[in-house]
Structure 1
Amino acid sequence: MDAEEQARLRARQRERIGRWLMPLLIMGAALILWDRICVWNEIPPYILPRPWLVLTTLWADAAILLPALLVTLKITFLSLLLAVTGGVGLAVLFAQSRWVEMSLFPFAIILQVTPIVAIFPLINIYVDNQTAKLLLCAWIVAFFPILSNTTLGLNSVDRNLLDYFKLNGASRWQTLWHLRLPASMPYFLGGLKIAGGLALIGAVVAEFVAGAAGQESGLASRIIEAGYRLKIPRLFAALLLISLTGILIFITLSAISHLILRRWHESAIERER
């Protein structure tokens, strides 16, 4: 192995280590600064708790917070599943008919740009079931990235390949299955990573605006309850749990995307340095 190849390998190893080490160092420095600010300014825990108190509260209140997390996760993943099913299905329909796309796509944009807090009063009137209300709100938030990205991918196929399929007598559905869907996969996976985080945000926001309460409520109700009772360490612990869940969802979807694309798509193939 020559010197240039060794230097390239060392640079690649440093990049792999730095990709994880640098964020951890910055996060550690931020936590230390947070802790020191609380000590230097003698801030009481009911105003701003120290990081260690937040962690111990998360452990002590796990029996309260973890069941609430499961409720929020149920809404998150069900809404994401519905968003994927509806978004991909409608995008395929758009790709098959330009008239359908022109007719329906503006309504999808209206759903996207209208704040969910403005839509919820109508949902509250027309939907009786509490879970269905939360699910519908989270679905509205997560739906558009899937639809938009998948539609873009289906419409971004190489025109030369489309002409080649036509010359060989491929039907519309054969072209869709063997050309358009594989070509749209990177776009769909990009939209999925966005929608995963939005589904969690939508579930939490829906719980806030719905004012969900009781044993079967999610993390948002625990945050509201902690705020009313001035149990600020528990509030921060719930926020930490939501953040960690969002990070885990993003990492999982990114790993799935990499596994699907790593052997054939430029965005996931490791480039030579």
Structure 2
Amino acid sequence: MTTIERDAAALPLDSEEARRVRAARLERIGKWVLPLAIMVLAIWLWDRICVWNEIPRYILPRPGEVLATLHTDAGLLFGSLLVTLRITFLSLLLAVAGGVGLAVLFAQSKWVEMSLFPFAVILQVTPIVAVFPLINIYVDNQTAKLLLCAWIVAFFPILSNTTLGLNSVDRNLLDLFKLNGATKWQQLWHLRLPAAMPYFLGGLKIAGGLSLIGAVVAEFVAGSAGQSSGLASRIIEAGYRLNAPRLFAALILISFTGIVIFLVLSLVSHLILRRWHESALKQER
């Protein structure tokens, strides 16, 4: 810290600046305390509703029973979670590879984009539960069925966001590259891809959650069962057996997994963009 900065820090704050500092401090505290307080209140109300109305555990279990089930059935539930996560991350990886690759192809040829992009839109807007009967006919391997369903759900956000980013490059910079004789691939590598990075990362955060949703929905429509099945199959099984605590425990695991995926991808996005992109620089102020 320089002498000027030390002197500025030592000066008393005026009332308006002090108010802004207090508001910023309260906001930093509140964004963590308020959600936790609401969550604790909701869990307490859940427990009290079960007690006050004497609701049977097979209809609505108390939070303590759900936590106990998470502990006692941890081996079964977390084993199924690993199966679901394997489909989730494999489908996300394939969505990134296919979406970015096709977006780059679109950026190099408008004719290719005009020819193929409508098919990507059709694939996105068609419900996966309507497509799965065809997948079930043409694909024999159970894992491949689940992977294809989850990939279809996660593919479009990567493709559309990356294509938008590649086409949103500064036209003045693009003209400068052309004036200096840059080839299309040089323009892509040195200009278009860096410009598309924030868009791609935004699509990646969306696709991360959608890949988990796609994996769970695929397990539901596939009706897979057995020791190697995912969390959706545990939910179906628990519903048939009226084992509500296990059903709620599986739902909590799915929700928590989705939150973790979103937070991890948000952190990755921030770490990549924090040194140069305006959206990340504003967050550090």
Q: What's the TM-score once normalised by structure 1's chain length?
A: 0.97
Correspondence for 1:211 = 223
Once residues 271 and 259 of structure 1 are traced to their aligned partners in structure 2, the CA distance between those partners, rounded to angstroms, is 12
Correspondence for 1:79 = 91
Correspondence for 1:44 = 56
Establish whether residue 264 from structure 1 lines up as the match of residue 276 from structure 2: yes
Establish whether residue 21 from structure 1 lines up as the match of residue 33 from structure 2: yes
Out of 168-177 and 134-143, give the one that drifted further: 168-177
Establish whether residue 92 from structure 1 lines up as the match of residue 110 from structure 2: no
Q: Secondary structure at the match of 2:100?
A: helix
Please give the residue correspondences for 1:2-13 in structure 2 after superposition, counting only pairs within 5 Å: 2-4=12-14, 7-13=19-25
Once residues 200 and 239 of structure 1 are traced to their aligned partners in structure 2, the CA distance between those partners, rounded to angstroms, is 13
Correspondence for 2:6 = none
Correspondence for 2:79 = 67
Once residues 271 and 189 of structure 1 are traced to their aligned partners in structure 2, the CA distance between those partners, rounded to angstroms, is 16
Paired amino acid for 1:265: H
Establish whether residue 135 from structure 1 lines up as the match of residue 173 from structure 2: no
Establish whether residue 118 from structure 1 lines up as the match of residue 130 from structure 2: yes
Correspondence for 1:226 = 238
Out of 9-18 and 77-86, give the one that drifted further: 9-18
Q: Secondary structure at the match of 1:157?
A: coil
Q: Secondary structure at the match of 2:277?
A: coil
Question: Which ranges in structure 2 are unaligned for 5 or more consecutive residues?
Answer: 1-8
Question: Which ranges in structure 1 are unaligned for 5 or more consecutive residues?
Answer: none
Once residues 9 and 151 of structure 1 are traced to their aligned partners in structure 2, the CA distance between those partners, rounded to angstroms, is 41
Establish whether residue 251 from structure 1 lines up as the match of residue 267 from structure 2: no
Per-residue deviation at 1:39?
1.3
**What is the RMSD of the two structures over their aligned residues, measured on CA atoms?**
1.4
Once residues 252 and 199 of structure 2 are traced to their aligned partners in structure 1, the CA distance between those partners, rounded to angstroms, is 30
Once residues 190 and 151 of structure 2 are traced to their aligned partners in structure 1, the CA distance between those partners, rounded to angstroms, is 29
Once residues 18 and 98 of structure 2 are traced to their aligned partners in structure 1, the CA distance between those partners, rounded to angstroms, is 49
Once residues 260 and 7 of structure 1 are traced to their aligned partners in structure 2, the CA distance between those partners, rounded to angstroms, is 33
Once residues 11 and 262 of structure 1 are traced to their aligned partners in structure 2, the CA distance between those partners, rounded to angstroms, is 24
Correspondence for 1:172 = 184
The one-character-per-residue Cα deviations of 1:100-134 (angstroms, maximum 9, x if unpaired) are 00000011001100000000000000000000000
- CA change 1:96–1:222 in 2 (3 A) is same
Paired amino acid for 2:266: S
Once residues 11 and 208 of structure 1 are traced to their aligned partners in structure 2, the CA distance between those partners, rounded to angstroms, is 47
Once residues 75 and 150 of structure 2 are traced to their aligned partners in structure 1, the CA distance between those partners, rounded to angstroms, is 25
Per-residue deviation at 1:44?
0.9
Per-residue deviation at 1:33?
1.4
Per-residue deviation at 1:270?
3.0
The one-character-per-residue Cα deviations of 1:204-228 (angstroms, maximum 9, x if unpaired) are 0000000000111100110011011
Q: Secondary structure at the match of 1:3?
A: coil
Per-residue deviation at 1:38?
1.1
Once residues 116 and 270 of structure 1 are traced to their aligned partners in structure 2, the CA distance between those partners, rounded to angstroms, is 38
Per-residue deviation at 1:14?
2.5
Correspondence for 2:4 = none
Out of 254-263 and 7-16, give the one that drifted further: 7-16
The one-character-per-residue Cα deviations of 1:224-245 (angstroms, maximum 9, x if unpaired) are 1101111110000000000000
Q: Secondary structure at the match of 2:227?
A: coil
Aligned length: 273
Once residues 234 and 167 of structure 1 are traced to their aligned partners in structure 2, the CA distance between those partners, rounded to angstroms, is 65
Once residues 144 and 118 of structure 1 are traced to their aligned partners in structure 2, the CA distance between those partners, rounded to angstroms, is 17
Establish whether residue 149 from structure 1 lines up as the match of residue 161 from structure 2: yes
Per-residue deviation at 1:6?
5.5
Per-residue deviation at 1:16?
2.0
Correspondence for 2:3 = none
Per-residue deviation at 1:22?
1.5
Once residues 58 and 20 of structure 1 are traced to their aligned partners in structure 2, the CA distance between those partners, rounded to angstroms, is 25
The one-character-per-residue Cα deviations of 1:155-185 (angstroms, maximum 9, x if unpaired) are 0111111111111111111110111000011
Q: What's the TM-score once normalised by structure 2's chain length?
A: 0.93
Paired amino acid for 1:135: L
